[in-house]
Amino acid sequence: MKSSLFIKILREKKLLLPPLSGYTDYPFRVILADFKPPFIITEMANARAIVQRNRRTMQILKIAEGKQYNGVQLVGSIPEYMSRAAKIVEDLGFDYIDINMGCTARKVACRGEGISLMKHEVRACEIVAAVTDAVDVPVTCKLRLGPSKQSMNVVALSEKLVDSGAVALTIHGRSGEKKFGLPVDLRIMHEAATVLTIPIIANGGIYTGSDAQQMIQATGAAAVMPGRGLIGNPWIIPEILSTISKTSFTPPTLQKKKEICRKHLDLLVDFYGERKAVLKMRSILPQYFSSCFFLKDLKLDVQQASNVSDIPMLLERLDDTKGYTIYDKNKK
Ligand SMILES: Cc1cc2nc3c(=O)[nH]c(=O)nc-3n(C[C@H](O)[C@H](O)[C@H](O)COP(=O)(O)O)c2cc1C
């Protein structure tokens, strides 16, 4: 995919999906593809592990069929591994490459990867230059406002990343000292969108179509990226797309949610096997029904699930009563 096409679609559709480690795996990307997003991206994949063809990392790189453009997010700190991994994923057929500069997980940051790259600007630029040299597909970066409140360097660093070859930047509107606890700072994202010559994708705290619309208005960003709002809610894709294009959106019925959740389970079983599928469902299933009454009971019960057959039983206990979804733990 050429950078000009990437930017054209990004500006037109105004929506990119997030990398979510542990969630945007192949099974969920298959589900997401059915909702016709313009772009889908993998969870972060370690560059060195790709170069070494690590089996579990290569699993991350399976492309979901669909009309969308597919991205892969690379995490790493060594330009040579990053560029070699980039070439490998380009050859696999990915349409764009994103570089993780925002992950605050200790095992990532302590290796000089993720958010650490915002502290080491020269290294961050070397990586972008090496990756853009190695591939023809567009290269983007995903950053936070800065490593900490005391060091909000996203605008200055972004200008250097543009000079190094990045064609668009996602900014998660929080600094790095807390994972997700801080309020999103729209002001700095607005400054970045004003100063920079390339499109900015605004991220942080988007859970609805109207959140997306407000984010674009407040920041002047070219596009938005939901985050946790996508987990258990692929309907956020048509919701955001229709809000932006001023068309109507019909929220899913409970029956539809159950159907997609069930399909998600089946895809997890096919991809990982039954044991891992059930473990994954423990965190995924409650997200599909996060507004139901007695959610606590549902969460407790799904923690007890040990067989795949337990999951449809839990879904059976969800009912619609006068427009509210209720989980009835006593229903047999
Ligand atoms: C479970 C989880 C996994 C995540 N994995 C990644 C990742 O692999 N790469 C990345 O750049 N950001 C990752 N993020 C950050 C999100 O992409 C997003 O930037 C963040 O959740 C902020 O958006 P939100 O406030 O709408 O959730 C992750 C976040 C969560 C909650």
User: Do 18 and 148 have their domain in common?
Assistant: yes
Q: Does 102 reside within a domain? A: yes
pLDDT of residue 214: 97
Kindly state if the Cβ of 73 falls inside 6 Å of ligand 1: yes
ipTM of the complex: 0.99
DSSP reduced 3-state for 43: strand
pLDDT tens-digit series, residues 266-289: 999 999 999 999 999 999 999 999
> Which of 244, 272, 301 is the last residue before a domain boundary?
244
* C-alpha separations of 74 from 37, 122, 140, 326 in Å: 21, 18, 10, 40
Cα 227-285-184 angle, rounded to 5 deg: 20
> Which of 185, 211, 244 is the last residue before a domain boundary?
244
Structural domain boundaries, residue 295: 254-327
> Which residue has the CA at smallest separation from atom 18 of ligand 1?
227
pLDDT tens-digit series, residues 209-244: 999 999 999 999 999 999 999 999 999 999 999 999
User: Do 170 and 70 have their domain in common?
Assistant: yes
125 catalytic, yes or no?
Answer: no
Q: Which helix (H) or strand (E) holds 284?
A: helix 274-288
Q: Does 323 reside within a domain? A: yes
Q: How many domains is the chain partitioned into structurally?
A: 2
pLDDT of residue 262: 97
Question: In the chain, how long is the greatest CA-to-CA distance?
Answer: 62
Two structure tokens written together for 167: 């064609």
Q: What are phi and psi of 43, to 5 degrees?
A: -70, 170
Q: Does 332 reside within a domain? A: no
pLDDT of residue 21: 97
Kindly state if the Cβ of 103 falls inside 6 Å of ligand 1: yes
Cα 31-103-72 angle, rounded to 5 deg: 40
Ligand 1: distance of its center to the CA of 18 in Å?
7
* CATH number of the domain enclosing 90: 3.20.20.70
Instruction: pLDDT band for 87, please (50, 70, 90 cuts).
Output: very high
Cα 146-151-154 angle, rounded to 5 deg: 35
pLDDT of residue 323: 82
Q: Does 264 reside within a domain? A: yes
Does the pLDDT of residue 183 top 90, yes or no?
no
Does the pLDDT of residue 179 top 80, yes or no?
no
Kindly state if the Cβ of 164 falls inside 6 Å of ligand 1: no
Q: Does 125 reside within a domain? A: yes
Kindly state if the Cβ of 203 falls inside 6 Å of ligand 1: yes
User: Do 258 and 231 have their domain in common?
Assistant: no
pLDDT tens-digit series, residues 129-178: 999 999 999 999 999 999 999 999 999 999 999 999 999 999 999 999 87
User: Do 218 and 303 have their domain in common?
Assistant: no
